Amino acid sequence: MYLADRSAPKEPLAGRGTTTTAVAPVVFALGAVSLITDISSEMVTAVLPLYLVTQLGFSPLGFGTLDGVYNGVSALVQLTGGHLADRVRNHKLIAGLGYGLSALCKPLLLLVTALGPLTTVLALERTGKGLRTAPRDAMISLSTPPERQGRAFGVHRAMDTTGAMLGPLAAFLILRAAVDGYDAVFGVSACVAALGVLVLVLFVPGPGKQREAVGSGKPPVRVGEALALLRLPRLRALAGCAAMLGLTTVSDAFVYLLLQRRAGIGEEWFPLLPLGTAAVFLLLAVPVGALADRIGRRGVFLAGHLGLLIAYALLLWTPATPALQYLVLALHGTFYAATDGVLPAAVGDIVPEQLRASGLAIVGTSQALARFCCSLAFGAAWTLWGDTRALAGSAVGLLCCAAVAGLVLRPTAGRPR
Amino acid sequence: MTPLRRLLILVTAVLLLAGVGTGVVLHAASRAARESRPQAGGPSVSSGKVTLTQKGRLTFVNAAAGPQRTAVASVPSTDPEAGRTASGLKCVRFYAAAGTGICLQSVPGVLKQSNRALLLDADLRTLRTFPLAGTPSRARVSPSGRFVAWTVFVSGESYSSAFFSTRTSVLDTRTMKLTPSLETFSIALDGKPYKASDVNFWGVTFASDDDTFYATLNTANRTYLVRGSLSKRTVTTLVQNVECPSLSPDGTRVAFKKRVLSRTNLWHEYVLDLRTLHETALAERHSVDDQATWLDNDTVAYALPTDGKVGSTDLWTVPANGTGTPRLLIAGASSPAPL
């Protein structure tokens, strides 16, 4: 018997199984927190380059030193956040610290105008994001019965993406009202972030219920126990497949760059391409999540990657149709809808409750690190062989990885999903 | 806590934060309004006709508070303290030579910032408009006015993504043929053909032969000075750690900013003799993050951030031979271009 089998909840907690299709209020509360927080952080993201170049007078290379600071760091922080949340048995506390840290960084943006301090503030902001991800997903996972995890994560991701789309809108409306009002953008962003933290504090239940479920008398979770998760064959398989597929998932920036070149989209439209992906992700996150619950997460997760593979194929083939960019963006958004929330939903089936955040962090981190490596490798391949062959290589790699993942993740007896 | 109490706290907080947010926006809006009114003690700026064929004048982007803030303005070269004549044209970055002007604008839209380049005739009338892929950074016109180059800064969709790049475009104003990106030019790095996906160019400066240009090339975390040929579509690296070159009027030297401490944004202004490749440090001790402009064969002008005022710069000059001290040329100004 796998350790994972023992983790399967014996009975639904009170108040959770009363209606068959409802999503737990906690998920909506966390979704609202993410929505509000994303409005806040995307407001800053949208105007940051403009602020750095036109207000602070940084040249392009000055800004170049900013990137790369967070790569890897954020992923490792996620592991720390996940483990800490399990250790103190208080997911809300660690997630709250993460949201709080990010919120505190927003007013600091008003004060720093030199590149060094600015980099530090942005790195702290990203640290907050890394810290909160795993405990937040663990709270979603722990508040939802196994058969409805996909839908719950779908609801959360849809709300999250809504915030990401509203953020830039808010920022540019402020800049229209107040010329050069970057301080106003940062100020409003800080207010919105504070609201997000408040909603978390007020409406996300604390660890009371969780303690009951997990047992408060137990000794604290140790690092060793979290590492022992890697001995769970199904978690290892999932983390391995997530990493393997991550290694062949070309980063968004490259996809948009290729799409812009192939479809001949005017350069001025480049900043709007991510919005296309986000819109499709937003529309499909809930239905696809629910579908994953019904027909199996493995199938949907793999189908999502198949969608990405078709998008690669379209970029390679470049049919002379005006629909090309819409098709690619639709497939790209579908890929996110079928994987971003479905993967943590699948983790929920495998990892015991008291280690849920650690398990989510392990899978999330392996995927993030793999995608980062893919970014580097894809850039190098592009240099050596050109964009067409680099993309063809990724497509072949993705096909192989998806086939292997299909085999490795195939249902075992007694565990139909 | 009862649900009602929670809701009360939430409503109170929303009202409070909405109040603070509105206050912050109104404050910024009123500041913007204030900056569009002339300030006591500020330079005198009058609206008037600015043409690019007036010899003996210096054009720049005006940053002094008033309705002509960010407008292209000009002063007599010999008396830069004199009253400014400001045109109706507003730019983030501007340059002009031989009756051709280039103006990079950044206009707020609903979903994104809308950036564009305006090609201008001698009366600052727009001849052509080009949409830009990102935030305006550098602009140059060749001495004859035939070629125009601009650099924009293209950012990724998230500040945590390892993706940033510059795009430098060159326009032939005679044929109106646009080279959207210098990255299509073939590169000889240290004498060998070089290809990489992380190549970025910025800061073009033109020679008077309407073919040779100099620019910054960045790849694999190094920056190079390159000499390029527009007709052959090639660039060749000359020396390392050179950014934003600016060719002297006699074509013998290049003023540039040199990163003095790696991984920081601390640059000092130098002049490179193109024949001997000998570098001379200029007397400016502040960090210069600008593409300098030669006012004549002996003097270099550049923008420095105004002390204690975010979003504003002053123009300074310094002798090109490394002697002397920096002198304030025009307060509240950027993008100098001698006519």
- In tens digits, chain B (339 residues) has pLDDT values of 788 999 999 999 999 999 999 999 999 999 888 888 888 888 899 999 999 999 999 999 999 988 999 999 999 999 998 899 999 999 999 999 999 999 999 887 777 778 999 999 999 999 999 999 888 889 999 999 999 999 998 765 444 444 467 889 999 999 999 999 999 999 999 999 998 877 889 999 999 999 999 999 988 878 999 999 999 999 999 999 999 999 999 999 999 999 887 666 788 999 999 999 999 999 999 989 899 999 999 999 999 988 877 778 999 999 999 999 999 999 999 999 999
Interface pTM, i.e. ipTM? 0.82
A416 pLDDT band (50/70/90 cuts)? very low
The pLDDT value recorded for residue B75 is: 96
The pLDDT value recorded for residue A21 is: 60
The pLDDT value recorded for residue A272 is: 84
Nearest to A50 among B13, B106, B264 (CB): B106
The pLDDT value recorded for residue A8 is: 37
The pLDDT value recorded for residue A19 is: 44
The pLDDT value recorded for residue A221 is: 75
Q: Which residue of B has its CA nearest to A67?
A: B162
A405 pLDDT band (50/70/90 cuts)? very high
Whether B150 and B168 have beta carbons less than 8 Å apart is answered as yes
Q: Which residue of A has its CA nearest to B169?
A: A267
Distance CA A104, CA A101 (A): 5
Residue type, A19: T
Share of chain A above pLDDT 70, in %: 87
Nearest to A172 among B31, B109, B155 (CB): B109
The pLDDT value recorded for residue A156 is: 97
Structure tokens at A5: 């089998």
- CB–CB contact B153 A67 (8 Å): no
SS3 per-residue string spanning A216-284 = CCCCCCCHHHHHHHHHCHHHHHHHHHHHHHHHCCCCHHHHHHHHHHHHCCCHHHHHHHHHHHHHHHHHH
- CB–CB contact A184 B17 (8 Å): no
Q: Is A70 on the interface with B (CB under 8 A)?
A: yes
Strand partners, B328: B316
Alpha-carbon distances, residue B45 vs A239, B30, B105, B306 (angstroms):
65, 21, 21, 19
- CB–CB contact A54 B158 (8 Å): no
- Looking from the CA of A175 toward its CB, the CA atoms found within 13 Å total 25
Alpha-carbon gap: B47 to the closest alpha carbon of chain A (Å)? 21
Q: Which residue of A has its CA nearest to B105?
A: A54
Residue type, A298: R
- CB–CB contact B133 A268 (8 Å): yes
Of A4-13, A239-248, B168-177, B297-306, give the lowest mean pLDDT range: A4-13
The pLDDT value recorded for residue B213 is: 98
Instruction: Please state the rounded mean pLDDT for residues A196-214.
Output: 78
Whether B1 and B10 have beta carbons less than 8 Å apart is answered as no
- CB–CB contact A48 B310 (8 Å): no
Instruction: Please check the confidence at residue A6 and state whether its pLDDT lies above 80.
Output: no
pTM above 0.95, yes or no: no
A383 pLDDT band (50/70/90 cuts)? confident
- CB–CB contact A183 B24 (8 Å): yes
Whether A128 and A44 have beta carbons less than 8 Å apart is answered as no
- CB–CB contact B20 A187 (8 Å): yes
Q: Is A256 on the interface with B (CB under 8 A)?
A: yes
Residue B130 DSSP class: E
